[in-house]
Amino acid sequence: MTLRPDLVPVSPSTRVVTCAADEIGEVAADIVATIASDGVLGVATGSSPLALYAALVRRRAEGLRTEGLRLFALDEYVGLSTDDPRSYAAYVRSVIAEPLGIPAENVRVPRGSTDADGAAYERAIAEAGGVDVQVVGIGRNGHIGFNEPGSDAETRTRVVELDESTRRANAEHFDGDLTQVPTHALTQGVATILSARRIVLVAAGSAKAAALRSALTGPVTADNPASFLQRHPDVTVVADPDALRENR
């Protein structure tokens, strides 16, 4: 594990940690563990944070108390039921909540297809006191959550149309059939994500390198929504050398 002083992000409040791919989860878990007893954790889905959640499960077996955590997921497909194994509700339940002993009443995943549903999710986050640590990944086109290119810094939880590149990247979870991948999602907005007190971005693999380089060292622009993280006062990026190779 190496703190990368040679990689100087535009934002001085962003720390970049390089580690082997199989160490990313442990490094990120060190941060999440600081709020594990009763904090509010914003959770991302997909493959990038899997090692983090596995590390937390191992630590729980070793005595870390996690059952008091409250979870808020970043996003959910429009049109999938919570019982659909491809839904993010199912992911959060089976990968995070149940293995960490977190009761169902402490788990929130966006659900619905209207602006009113988005506003209700915003209220739920506010009523919980805000998110202490928000976990995010980064899409190949720079999306965070499902905030696709073009999403501005003022966006809040809302329904969005998914970029075709995002749908193609997620088709592997739908038997490789693009026609089965939902076209819309309900997602936390950029402003919602930035309201978290601390953000941890995890990334692995060369496919994320160009987007991550732009997010860290390029201009702040809606063309790469992850670049808005430069405006946050406390961001830690945990990534492997492949994901950071274009930042050298």
Q: CB burial class (10 A; 0-12, 13-18, 19+) of residue 22?
A: exposed
Query: 40 is written with which tokens?
Result: 């509010």
Length of the chain: 248
Q: What pLDDT, on a 0 to 100 scale, did the predictor assign at position 13?
A: 83
pTM of the model: 0.93
- The pLDDT confidence band at residue 111, using thresholds 50, 70 and 90, is very high
Catalytic residue among 75, 76, 132, 240: 75
| 144 pLDDT tier (thresholds 50, 70, 90) | very high
The residue from 67, 141, 173, 242 that is catalytic is 141
- Catalytic, 232? Answer no
Instruction: Tell the residue number behind the tokens 């992000």, with chain if given.
Output: 9
Would you call 209 helix, strand, or coil by DSSP?
A: helix
The residue-averaged pLDDT of 104-124 equals 97
Report whether 173 contacts 86 (CB < 8 A). yes
Query: How confident is the model over 92-105, as a mean pLDDT?
Result: 98
- Out of 143, 224, 240, 247, which one is annotated catalytic? 143
Mark whether 122 is an active-site residue.
no
Q: Would the pLDDT of 231 be above 90? A: yes
Strands lying side by side in the sheet with 184-187 = 75-77, 184-187, 158-161
Mean per-residue pLDDT over the chain, rounded? 94
* 132 is a catalytic site residue: no
Report pLDDT for 11.
73
* The two three-digit tokens of residue 51, written as one number: 């090692």
Could you give phi then psi for residue 169, rounded to 5 degrees?
A: -65, -30
pLDDT at 5: 47
Say which of 76, 132, 148, 240 is annotated catalytic: 148
23 is catalytic: no
Once rounded to an integer, what is the mean pLDDT over residues 74-103?
97
